[in-house]
A and B are shown apart, each in its own frame.
Chain A
């Protein structure tokens, strides 16, 4: 609690004690015995006025100032009218006195307001803590001494020193030192990464084990940490439809309820010819319920909490509207390379034709490809896993577009595609597996083949399964790759639909076709496109929700997408959807709960059943509960 809230609390306690004393005096009957009727009534009136004013003088002042400034319809004004009204019922001596109720309502209202202010402050603070990834200083060497400076003052090219335990303040490249780096604040991934010389390091990560000297590559305002903070803080500018609805609703709700309150207080007694006190009291209850604060606070707070929580697990959402759309996603379209696959080539199969073991075959192929710098050759060497003996290799000859011819251990080895085999008259077997096939011939005889394909990401299959489980109806894969490769990947991952051999423009067309199909089915389901953000910007913008992944440090991806996954695990997509669904369900709960309770009290009040107490609960009590519920949106770690 801050100082202002403490003073507020103390004032409420004083008022509470005074109220209890007044209540005892009034109930004891001592006033009545001393002053008789109606003197006792007026004495009671004065008695309750004391705690009322102690508790609520600021509300009265605020209401008065509001009227002067031309803003009559605010909460303070409504509370003032309601409580003053309760006191004014003393003018109808034939009814029960309501002074105690008026004072109590003001007290209760203040207690609720204090709670509300406290809860909002608490949630502001926990969200601020959650976003506490901004580095406060950078260490630079000045005249041989380590000096702390503001990260803003460091420019690209400068060298900074990051000690163990410190946060890396700016993006850069390690020039000296080796360490483990904790990226959890950015990606949610708890396994630390290695950082050695020439490795890139990202601001916002925590340096764990050793001191690093880093050459800064970006100014602070363009560094990853600044971009993320800016993105998350500005996310609330893009409001969800639900939020806009609530704001619009609030604009009409208060005047309408106040209008009904006035009608309720005036028309029935005129028609019925009496009962003013009762009907006025019903009208006053309406006034207390007429503030839409619970909704106006809790809905944006839920979105803010959801977006903040998601950012902690490496999911950056650029606006509440995207979180809302993500919750309705029922079609997820993937780009293949870099999204479901690593985009790097690796040996996936080695098939011997009979004479050689698979190890011998791979050994031959790797040696023949020893001097090639083609990525496929590199992947064959990597698959061998041990150092090459260059003494065994002679007379290497690359045949462009065909493959390699070399002497290994004195025997002619051919490694390449079918054309190479045909050119040398080798009787080879056509292989129709997905991927690039390297045929190997030794001394003019076919020896077997090595299959190289883009590797699936470890969690790709689990990611697709999780999406289906989360209620995604359809998964689609788009790729520029060959159809047989695409078919294999799609069936391995259990993707519902795939389209291969597409040019970038073709991907846009496919997405448009799917969007149209969705619209035609008049389903409310949204379409999300997931790509690596490098060359699929047009598709990312065309989809309802564009998701870019593997974006640590990639500006292009952060620009183009609506939702950015900081690391490159596709399972984060399902997680993002779960976060979005949870946030939306909290939003809905709050709307239903707050509106439901308010309407219930309004109806009860119209029939004269609800009293002021219920009304105050429906106002501030509901607000506090809704805020507490909204705070749940922040915890997404377990999703």
Chain B
């Protein structure tokens, strides 16, 4: 499953790079990109259903908040 999200208040490019690295290491994620310019997060995950994809997005939100407290994944 592959989905793109808008990121709100993504202000720091270095943080975006760190977020990307960390989100990529979540179990089940086959590829994730954080695009600082377009402020978009793309997650491509190998999961059976929408619920487990949701869990991955929750985890991604935690990672984003760790680096940028204000940064919100809009879904």
A residues with CB within 8 A of B: 62, 65, 69-71, 74-75, 117, 120, 123-124, 127, 233-234, 236-237, 247, 250-251, 291-293, 296-297, 300-301, 304
Are B42 and A75 touching (Cβ within 8 A)? no
Closest chain A CB from B53 CB (angstroms): 19
Partner of A296 from B11, B13, B69 at Cβ < 8 Å? B13
Partner of A293 from B12, B37, B39, B42 at Cβ < 8 Å? B12
Partner of B13 from A71, A127, A236, A297 at Cβ < 8 Å? A297
A69 to B18, CA, bound (A): 14
Are B40 and A75 touching (Cβ within 8 A)? no
Q: Contacts of A233 on B, CB cut-off 8 Å?
A: 35, 38, 40
Are A127 and B37 touching (Cβ within 8 A)? yes
Q: Contacts of B35 on A, CB cut-off 8 Å?
A: 233, 236-237
A311 to B9, CA, bound (A): 27
Q: Contacts of A71 on B, CB cut-off 8 Å?
A: 18, 66-67
Which residue of chain A has its CB nearest to the CB of B38?
Answer: A233
Q: Contacts of A124 on B, CB cut-off 8 Å?
A: 37-39
Q: Is B14 an interface residue (CB 8 A)?
A: yes
A117 to B12, CA, bound (A): 9
Closest chain A CB from B62 CB (angstroms): 9
9 other A-B residue contacts (CB within 8 Å) besides A69-B65, A75-B12, A300-B13: A69-B69, A70-B66, A71-B67, A74-B15, A117-B11, A124-B38, A234-B42, A237-B33, A293-B14
Which residue of chain B has its CB nearest to the CB of A117?
Answer: B11
Are B67 and A300 touching (Cβ within 8 A)? no
Q: Contacts of A234 on B, CB cut-off 8 Å?
A: 42
Q: Contacts of A62 on B, CB cut-off 8 Å?
A: 69
Which residue of chain A has its CB nearest to the CB of B70?
Answer: A62
Interface-centre pick from B16, B40, B66 (highest chain A CB count, 10 A): B66
Are B69 and A293 touching (Cβ within 8 A)? no
Q: Contacts of A70 on B, CB cut-off 8 Å?
A: 66
A124 to B40, CA, bound (A): 12
Partner of B14 from A117, A127, A291, A304 at Cβ < 8 Å? A291
Partner of A65 from B15, B18, B69 at Cβ < 8 Å? B69
Which residue of chain A has its CB nearest to the CB of B17?
Answer: A247
Which residue of chain B has its CB nearest to the CB of A113?
Answer: B11
- Can you pick out 14 interface pairs between chain A and chain B where the beta carbons lie within 8 Å of each other? A62-B69, A69-B65, A70-B66, A71-B18, A74-B12, A75-B14, A117-B11, A233-B35, A233-B40, A237-B31, A237-B35, A292-B14, A296-B14, A300-B36
| Cβ proximity bits B12-30 to A, threshold 8 Å, 1 near / 0 not | 1111111001000000000
Q: Contacts of B14 on A, CB cut-off 8 Å?
A: 74-75, 250, 291-293, 296
Closest chain A CB from B31 CB (angstroms): 8
A123 to B13, CA, bound (A): 14
Are A69 and B66 touching (Cβ within 8 A)? yes
A70 to B18, CA, bound (A): 13
Which residue of chain A has its CB nearest to the CB of B65?
Answer: A69
Closest chain B CB from A12 CB (angstroms): 16
Are B17 and A301 touching (Cβ within 8 A)? no
Are A297 and B36 touching (Cβ within 8 A)? yes
Q: Contacts of B37 on A, CB cut-off 8 Å?
A: 123-124, 127, 236, 300-301, 304
